[in-house]
Every structure is written in structure tokens, then in C-alpha cells.
Amino acid sequence: MKENGNKKQEQLEQFRANDQGKEMTTNQGLKLSEDEFSLKAGERGPTLMEDFHFREKITHFDHERIPERVVHARGFAAHGEFELYESMKDYTSAKFLQDPSVKTPVFVRFSTVAGSRGSAETVRDVRGFATKFYTEEGNFDLVGNNIPVFFIQDAIKFPDLIHAVKPEPHNEMPQAASAHDTFWDFVANNQESAHMVMWHMSDRAIPRSFRMMEGFGVHTFRFVNDQGKAHFVKFHWKPLLGVHSLVWDEAQKISGKDPDFHRRDLWESIEMGKYVEYELGVQLIEEEEEFSFDFDILDPTKLWPEEDVPVKIIGKMTLNRNVDNVFAETEQVAFHPGHIVPGIDFTNDPLLQGRLFSYTDTQLIRLGGPNFHELPINRPVCPFHNNQRDGYGRQTINKGQVSYHNNSLANNTPTPVSAAEGGFVHYQEKIEGHKVRRRSDSFKDHFSQATMFWNSMSQPEQMHIIDAFSFELGKVMSKSVRQQVVDMFSNVNAEMAAAVADAIGVTPPGAKESNITKSSPALSQLNTKKTPYTRKVGVIIGHDFNGPDIHVVLNALKAEGIEVQIISEKFGNIKASDGTELMIDQTFLTSDPVLLDAIYIGGGDGGNAKFNQDVTYYLEEAFKHFKTIGTTHEGKNFLKEKMVNSSGVVIGNDIHQFAHKFIEAITMHRHWDRKIV
């Protein structure tokens, strides 16, 4: 990525340091002559207090850790740019949404919610999708998730939700998992969670990649144009690779084989120059239409079905640069839904209102004081001036004697300015009401959209939801909680609840007729974009493989941007029958079928029983996880009978035809109609 022209990168460049090839000094710049031995009174004597180098080094080390985020602790981030397709002038005065020729630098952090900073990444969880736009008018943070709704309707319940989902306090188990008593007890006793829980039990909660998931602002925001006219708006990120997920058995195994699976995938993509793209979409509702829906548009447990309120695609974000230092950038970045710019404003969504308090508050403990906005990653790219002063770690050297307003000694500057000059003016919504601790009746339908979500799922997606409930509730010790949950979800779909009840040994709820027949095809991942681009294929070969044929396949895969991993027994080169050689990228030991999207058994001779055993394991796992399998030459001999006529298993004679069909099958992501038992 070019530094030039990207204001954020130019700014960060001033803070980047390269220690390689340099002489070692203390933090005071004193050159050191020795870094291995502390200063002692005699070679075998005690360390001296005077050893400033030892003290500095150890003290710094002792203070290296900061508190992890109370939620979203495990995350990974990248830099990029946002470009607009068409001016949004009619809807918003936000400067970065006016001119399609302007590129806005962004920083995006993806995260899981429940796990601690070192937890595995492919757990069943919501994913955070937080974007900081460094605009000319200040930072705009779109702090969203990969699920468009939330568990609760009022921010005051957030500590309860998080206490319930985090490891239980008496034994700190289980890590990064909702499959335990307290989470499900919370669900059953806070039924507003029903819709979100359906998403949480669906494939959305185990994404194949950060690059293959949607992002949602969740709340309803406002766009306000330069005439002061407002629209309600919801934000969407749509990945250009489509929305794709893992299967649960695979996700669990990846947690052990590669706990860094998602960050590695993002990191490697960017390093390879296969930049990561999402389109930004907005759903817009006229102010006058606020009450025209059968749900309250301020209720964060509701989505706006795309078929009713279309998503207008307005721009594209490209992530094209990895961080230089995870702590300095990813860990220290401070997002806040309250970081907005003129032309964008809040609504009275009670969840959003509470978030506006929480995010600064949490940075104060996490980043150690009120000056976190001065950390390089958090600085806006436009100038900032006010009368705030001092505090831990203050970096700005504010000149002059005046730090108050109003004043005459500095001509009453810095000065607030009018809207015409770019000053932020809150949208003047008329508010009337009694001061109450209550929830509007319009927030009380907890099940209609949960049922709509269920109705929108394809058959395999519905099966995955039933399996997910059965797994999660199967881990719940309290039979009463299991029963309560099943009873609750019979309000979503009775058959689903009955299937779960059967799996977990509780009384099936009585049959209930739901009158909700609505579905939203946009919610099913079966209707998503499909492309083989950047998929990872394991190519398994033995000695004396057919060189020319394998090269036909490899070239065809690479031409589609598919990543190829040549796998065999040992590292080194492997010889084809024509004498050519291929370098092995991974061995059966270092790779694993769960880390790959598809397998190609290209033949050759392993020469021993271990090779056959390993190939069989790779095949069985790939088959079980509905992945594309290709075989040619001697590779065909490994196929079990159940695999031969199965969907997504491509068996080749003509090598060109095989390559074509194999890629077609990889494009499908998974072959759900395959019978795996």
C-alpha cells in the first residue's frame, strides 16, 4: 500500500521505528556495552542497585501488559481505504460520503466476543467488525458485528448478558463458549434474546473467514443532509467473496490445529496482495415512515428485511496493509460508536444510547487515562484543538497561557463554529415524555423475526441450527434450564424445538402453530456470492506422480487465484515419473484437512502403509465436512464406495475436463446434499 496520498499512513509513518541494524541504547539514548549480564558485586556476587540498565529493562517488562478488552478481547486488524461509488449528498452532509474521487483511510478490527485475548478463533460466537474511518472531519467509527441484531434491547442489561456468557466465575470454565448453564439460563429468562440466539446457533457464528462475513452497524442511525433533512439508516458491509461458514465439527478441530486460523487467513491474504474487499450498503427509511413497520425500527433485536428495505450499495472498502505492531495498533485502537461526523447522528435506540457512555469509560481503564486519543492509531488525520489538558501520558505540547473558554487573552479561541463552517449540530429531534424505567410496548414481540429467520434458512442451515442447539444445551447441566430453553424456542418453531428436545432428553413442547410465514431470502447463506478465488486446496501426491497432468491442474487452480498447498509425507522435493520435481509445502503432520477448502489426490505412490493411512484420513475428514474432493490417476483408488457417486467428488480421466469440473465444485464452497453416513 502506498503511504503517499493516504493521510493516516503518512501520519503513522512518523511514529514507526525500525530497530534492525541499530546500536542498542537505553530508553534515554545511552549506548550500551553489554546486555546479557546484570551488574554484580563480584562475578558470583549479588546484583547491584546501581544497575540502571537492569532496572529499566525489567521494569518495562513488568509493566508490559494492559487489561484486555472486557468483551471482544481476541481480535485482529488491518489498514485499508474506503472509496465511495456515488455521492450521498441527498441524504447526508458527511464529507467522506460526498465525492467519489476521495479515498478515506480506514482501520478495521475483527474480533470474537466472549473469549479472552489468547482464545481460539473458530469458536461459536458473534464476530466484531469495527471500522474507523479517518475522515477530514474527524474519526467516524462504525463499531458493528457480523450479526445484524443483538441479544438485549437496553444497555443496562449488557453486564448481565456478558456475565452470563463469559466463563462461569466459580471455576472459570468454559473458555470462549456459550455452551454452559449460565448463558442458557440468561437466554431463557431474557426472551428478547430469541432472534439473536437463532443467528448465534446458525452458521453465521462460525465464519470460514473474516473475509467472508457480513458486517452490520446493528443500530438505527440517522443521516442528515445539508438542508437538515434526516433519514433513518442502517449500515451493512457485504464481502465480495460472499458469506461462508465452517461446519461445527471442523470449527472445533481448527481451534486445536490452528487457534489463529482467522487472523492467519486475513494476514496471509493481505501479504499475498489478495486484498480484502467489502461493499458498504445502507438501508434508508424516511423519517415519516418511522411507524410504518410491524416492528419498532429503534429495537436492536429487529432487522429491516432487505426485500422490504433494499440495501443501497454506496462504496467499497479494501483492506490492503497489515499492521506493523499488533500491540501498538490492534490492541491500542479505541473504537467508539459515539465517534461521529456532521451528517450522521444517533437515534433513541436504548442499546446505542448506553454504548455512547461505555466506550470511553472502558478505554480509561484499558489504556490508562484520558489521552488515548493521542496514540498514533487513534489520532484523527485532521487537526484537533480544545482546552483539555494534562493527564497520564500527555504527548501534545499545548503552547500559550490560555486553556479555558470563554477568554479574551487568546481572542476567545479555539472557537466553536457554525454548521456551515463544519461544526457538529445535534439533530433537533423533538422529545416529549415522562421520566420512566420502562420499555415501550412496541419492543415486546420477541419471536416473529426469530421465526422469519428460521423460515429463511435452507434445509441444511436448519439442520445446523438444530445440531447447534443440541450441542449447546447438551453441555447444560441443569435439566430445568434445558427445558426452559426448549419451551422458549417452541415459540420460534415447534418442530425445531421438538427435534432439540429429543436430542437433549427433555419433554417435547406441545405443538404450536406459528402464524409467521414470512421469510427473507437474503438471510440464507445458500443465496450468497460464490467464487473459488483465494480458496485453499491441498494437493496430495506421492513418488512418480504424472508431472504434466498435475501441472495442468495446478496451473488451472492458480489461474483462478486458488491457493495450492502441495502435501506429502516429508518436506523436500518429490519426483514425477517424467523426472520433474515439485516442492512439498506441508506434510500430513503440519497441515490438516480442516485447514483446507478442498483436497486433490493426484496419484503417485506413497510406497508405504502410513501414506495410505494419511491420505485416507484427509479424504474422510474432507468428505465429512462436505468439501470438494478431486481424484485422478492412482488417487482414485483411495475413494471409498460411499464417495464415488457423491456430490462434490470429482473423478477425472481427461485432465483438462477434470480441472474445470474440480474448480466448479470448489466454487460451491460445500456440498450440502452429500450423504455423509
Q: Which residues of this protein are in contact with ligand HDE, per CB under 6 A?
A: 69-72, 75, 109, 111, 128, 130, 143-145, 150, 155, 158, 218, 333, 335, 351, 354-355, 358-359, 362
Containing 185, the helix (H) or strand (E) segment is: helix 181-189
CA nearest to 577, candidates 605, 558, 618: 605
Give per-residue burial for 273-291: e unless 16+ CB within 10 Å, then b: ebbbbbbbbbbbbeeeeee
Residue type, 238: K
Residue type, 664: E
CB of 510 to ligand HDE, least distance (A): 34
> In whole angstroms, what is the distance from residue 664 CA to residue 658 CA?
10
Given a contact cutoff of 8 angstroms between Cβ atoms, the answer to whether 215 and 278 are in contact is yes
Judged by CB, which is closer to ligand HDE: 351, or 576? Answer: 351
Neighbours of 463 (CB within 10 A): 13
CB of 127 to ligand HDE, least distance (A): 8
> In whole angstroms, what is the distance from residue 85 CA to residue 100 CA?
6
Given a contact cutoff of 8 angstroms between Cβ atoms, the answer to whether 284 and 222 are in contact is no
CB of 425 to ligand HDE, least distance (A): 25
> In whole angstroms, what is the distance from residue 590 CA to residue 567 CA?
9
Measured from each CB, the residue nearest to ligand HDE is 128
Look up residue 97 and give its three cell numbers. 460520503
Given a contact cutoff of 8 angstroms between Cβ atoms, the answer to whether 37 and 57 are in contact is no
Residue type, 497: A
Given a contact cutoff of 8 angstroms between Cβ atoms, the answer to whether 209 and 506 are in contact is no
Containing 132, the helix (H) or strand (E) segment is: strand 127-135
Judged by CB, which is closer to ligand HDE: 109, or 446? Answer: 109
Catalytic residue among 6, 53, 139, 145: 145
CB of 574 to ligand HDE, least distance (A): 43
| 72 noted as active-site residue | yes
Plot region of 221 (φ>0 → left; ψ -120 to 50 → alpha; else → beta): beta
Judged by CB, which is closer to ligand HDE: 114, or 650? Answer: 114
Judged by CB, which is closer to ligand HDE: 12, or 567? Answer: 12
CB of 261 to ligand HDE, least distance (A): 18
> In whole angstroms, what is the distance from residue 259 CA to residue 139 CA?
32
CB of 335 to ligand HDE, least distance (A): 4
Helix pair 494-504, 479-489: axis angle to 10 deg: 160
Judged by CB, which is closer to ligand HDE: 193, or 631? Answer: 193
> In whole angstroms, what is the distance from residue 164 CA to residue 184 CA?
8
| 4 noted as active-site residue | no
Judged by CB, which is closer to ligand HDE: 211, or 482? Answer: 211
Catalytic residue among 53, 72, 236, 262: 72
DSSP 263-274: HHHHHHHHHTT-
Judged by CB, which is closer to ligand HDE: 319, or 663? Answer: 319
* Catalytic residue positions, numbered: 72, 145
